[in-house]
Structure 1
Amino acid sequence: MAAQRVLIVDDEPDIRELLDITLSRMGLETHSAATLSEAQSAVSEVIPDLCLTDMRLPDGNGIHLVEYIQQEHPQIPVAMITAHGSVETAISALKAGAFDFISKPIELDTLRKLVSSALQLEGDTSRLDNAVVQDLLGDAPAIRTLRKQIAKLARSQAPVHIRGESGSGKEVVARLIHNNGPRATGNFIAVNCGAIPPDLMESELFGHLKGSFTGANADKPGLFQAAAGGTLFLDEVADLPLPMQVKLLRAIQEKAVRPVGGSEEIPTDVRLLSATHKDLGAEVEAGRFRDDLFYRINVIDLHVPSLRERAEDLPLLARALLKRIARDNGNEQADLDDSALEALGDYSFPGNVRELENILERSLALADSGTISADDLQFSRMTPRNPAARTRKSDREGMQTWSVEEAYGDLEGYLEDIERQILSRALEESRWNKTATAKLLGISFRSLRYRLKKLQLED
């Protein structure tokens, strides 16, 4: 089997020699170029499996080479060699399409890991494209664009910020990026930043040493350590308290974390993905999110469309979700009739795909047969189908009331409908965080769990 080829681009002979010796010892075939023009010619002649390029070249810079390779040979990963502490340069390289970057002075262990990771990428991207299509259903223009972006970003190590409404599938996108990239064999660690109490957040992310605080009875590795060699997904990153944002920024910049109670930093090797349903730019302007952290995690911005933005995909998506739900329950015959599809098409889905899945799961449990109709969806109870059917009136205290006639004949069901709507709205406002939902409603967590179970609203 032929050795994999690496093109080394640097105008300093000593650097080229160091890289050549290191990579040759890894069993790789090396080729060298000292200028941008030499590198462009070598790329076409050699067709390397990886290109390592310095930022500063006599006749241009490494960004130009990244852009050239992205245009002419997009299957070739490019890693940028940058000056120590040159954050702006590294981010520019990643935005241009570089696989990753390494800073001078070059640490050989870090270099070997980078090269090994890059060479795991397949030159033929058809398998990756097919995998993304299978896991991200739909043919809406926004979904087709998203699939292309995921396939491209899976081949990179750039930090990606995923934005979209609650329930739109941001974690699904993050897992696709991880599962189809060179870190797929490593752990995918997802953490909801809004669900961790502020006083425990540093310990959860960075770990702690025994005796560092009351209750710390043993050393505990943090989520950064758990994700070593894999991906750390920070969901609802906008909910991080400002003091924690400072510590996260340092961890990203130094690629190291210091456990609570520790005196030394521990190197980390994670790819960072983040997400939020909020506008991070607006959070920065409001002073609730640090602009320097925003700059580091938002290297690549990825938008996940809401279900309303991909309405044409609803029948395909609903049937696929129902098939999976039914299969998990030992039912292979479940389907949606035309009335159900029409009712789904009329609904706005504020909770997006997550809400669609919950509705289908509940409807399948209530349906008399394996075929779900509009009546099984119970939209007439959940939300007004006809604006004139239910008239809401606001009393002087701002509370919403309903016509008394609606309760006639089924008071219990009527009251459950109102409770279900209040709980659903509170869950949505709290981003499905049950602890926050209970606090918002002024009830205990146990009471919330009981009500969710009674009304069949549990995930």
Structure 2
Amino acid sequence: MSTERPLALVIDDEPDICELIVVTLERMDIDAEQAGTLEEARRLLDEHRFDLCITDMQLPDGNGIDLVAEINRERPELPAAVITAYGSMDAAVQALKAGAFDFVPKPVDLGMLRQLVDGAMRLTRGPRIDRRSRDTLLGESPAMQKIRGTIVKLARSNAPIYISGESGTGKELVARTIHDKGNRREAPFVPVNCGAIPSELMESEFFGHVKGAFTGASRDKQGLFQAADGGTLFLDEIAELPQPMQVKLLRAIQEKAVRPVGGEHEQPVDVRILSATHQDLAQLVETGDFRQDLFYRINVIQLAVPSLRERRQDIPMLVDHILGRLTGDGDHRIRVSDTALGTLRAYAFPGNVRELENILERALTLCEGDTIEAEDLQLPSHEGNGTAGTTEATPEPSEDFALDDYLADVERNVVVKALEKTHYNKTAAAQLLGISFRALRYKLKKLDME
């Protein structure tokens, strides 16, 4: 056996299925070892270095998903795929949650199997790439370090991912980074805003149409699924999909095939689905505005993108990056004064990073000289800023609510307001707040506002 050929482990207690998969792999120049039990599979895993593992779910001595979880934990570099019973989407979702790279249903479709194997080989035998994402997902806060580490793991899978987060946090950037770090990076990344497509055109936009399907269909048209074939389809603001389209989308995801409007046959598509919305999808499921079965299918893995309020320490880095992009990276760079930077760090940013970009772009126009001052920022004094005298409603506690963070935001904004009113005279600001100068200095240090 040539050591240069990839090696796969095939685990199934049905000899016919095992033989079918092994023959298919051999025709793809991949050698294979066979196992009929988990015990035998674990022994082979200890003896060989495999490039791919394909396992059945139900085995004589246990469940293949348990093995997938072990591989994901102990050998994260090894892609593991699962063979599921026909029509068992629950089992497929369970396998993907356990860390499976992908799944193939019984009876095994050889075209789907080859696609799966090609994807796995691109992961393990493809050119090495830098999987770090600091150049795009900036920030050294714990929240950003965690999300970058999670992206590296998620990029190795074909599992659908639901990206949640407030408007302006960078959900599309996260989706694009997952695509760029995975085995589909050479294929298209197709983003679509579901709320921007008229409902009457939605089916044609997603699945395409054939010539003559309706008035105005003068030629065949490729849909978004076909355009993303082999790559990633990012469904932004998926909560905006009307119910009839939710049904059609669910079928396309489950069957891995689409039928163009006016077409007679379904077309197979190999697409990874990433979706996002700023709305609470779980709440929409509760109210009946979003289908539970579709939510279950797209929410195999959920990735929460932190708001800018949750990573204030990243603001200086983001400011520097955004200004560099807006002004160029020449020797003569616009800078932000310490006072203006402190004001930014105290602001609540309801619009998150997108709002920060808009604020800095406006400040560049207003500032005199090469320094942006606090007054150039023109931050709202009563909308979403948590300052004294606002009309903002008291927030409703939720699962993600952090009382300490909320109170710190309120305290920070009140301190900034006092400093602004006294033209940043700390002694006068302390008197205005009814505290000692030493107490104000302590608060500035505690709130990271020095």
Please classify the TM superposition score into its range, dividing by the shorter chain length: 0.7 to 0.9
Question: Secondary structure in 1 aligned to 2:328?
Answer: helix
- Deviations along 1:252-303, one digit per CA (max 9) or x if unpaired, are 1111111112222111111000000111110001010000111100110110
Moved more, 313-322 or 227-236: 313-322
CA distance in 2, matches of 1:213, 1:135: 43
Tell me if the contact between 1:323 and 1:335 (Cα under 8 Å) persists in the aligned partners: no
- Deviations along 1:352-395, one digit per CA (max 9) or x if unpaired, are 0011111112212332233322122122789698957x888xxx
- Deviations along 1:171-198, one digit per CA (max 9) or x if unpaired, are 0000001011011111111111111111
Equivalent residues in 2 for 1:334-413 (5 A)? 334-379=334-379
Residue segments in structure 1 that go unaligned for 5+ positions in a row? 393-459
CA distance in 2, matches of 1:98, 1:367: 53
> Could you tell me which residue of structure 1 aligns to residue 229 of structure 2?
228
Question: Secondary structure in 1 aligned to 2:325?
Answer: helix
Query: Post-superposition shift, 1:128?
Result: 4.5
AA at the equivalent of 1:241 = P
CA distance in 1, matches of 2:314, 2:246: 38
AA at the equivalent of 2:77 = Q
CA distance in 1, matches of 2:278, 2:159: 21
> Could you tell me which residue of structure 2 aligns to residue 189 of structure 1?
190
Tell me if the contact between 2:348 and 2:385 (Cα under 8 Å) persists in the aligned partners: no
Question: Secondary structure in 2 aligned to 1:220?
Answer: coil
CA distance in 1, matches of 2:40, 2:386: 69
Question: Secondary structure in 2 aligned to 1:133?
Answer: coil
Moved more, 156-165 or 66-75: 66-75
Count of equivalent residues: 390
Question: Secondary structure in 2 aligned to 1:190?
Answer: strand
Equivalent residues in 2 for 1:17-416 (5 A)? 17-122=19-124, 127-130=129-132, 132-327=133-328, 333-379=333-379
AA at the equivalent of 1:369 = G
Query: Post-superposition shift, 1:47?
Result: 1.9
TM-score normalized by the length of structure 1: 0.81
Tell me if the contact between 2:348 and 2:386 (Cα under 8 Å) persists in the aligned partners: no
Residue segments in structure 2 that go unaligned for 5+ positions in a row? 392-450
> Relative to structure 1, is the Cα distance of residues 385 and 50 closer, same or farther in structure 2, using a 3 angstrom cutoff?
closer
> Relative to structure 1, is the Cα distance of residues 332 and 150 closer, same or farther in structure 2, using a 3 angstrom cutoff?
farther
CA distance in 2, matches of 1:332, 1:300: 45
AA at the equivalent of 1:238 = A
AA at the equivalent of 1:244 = M
CA distance in 2, matches of 1:306, 1:386: 15
Question: Secondary structure in 2 aligned to 1:260?
Answer: coil
CA distance in 1, matches of 2:38, 2:92: 18
Query: Post-superposition shift, 1:14?
Result: 1.8
Residue identity over aligned pairs, in percent, reads 57
> Relative to structure 1, is the Cα distance of residues 332 and 254 closer, same or farther in structure 2, using a 3 angstrom cutoff?
farther
> Relative to structure 1, is the Cα distance of residues 64 and 364 closer, same or farther in structure 2, using a 3 angstrom cutoff?
same
> Relative to structure 1, is the Cα distance of residues 356 and 26 closer, same or farther in structure 2, using a 3 angstrom cutoff?
same
Query: Post-superposition shift, 1:113?
Result: 1.4
Query: Post-superposition shift, 1:313?
Result: 1.2
TM-score normalized by the length of structure 2: 0.82
> Relative to structure 1, is the Cα distance of residues 383 and 81 closer, same or farther in structure 2, using a 3 angstrom cutoff?
closer
Question: Secondary structure in 1 aligned to 2:134?
Answer: helix
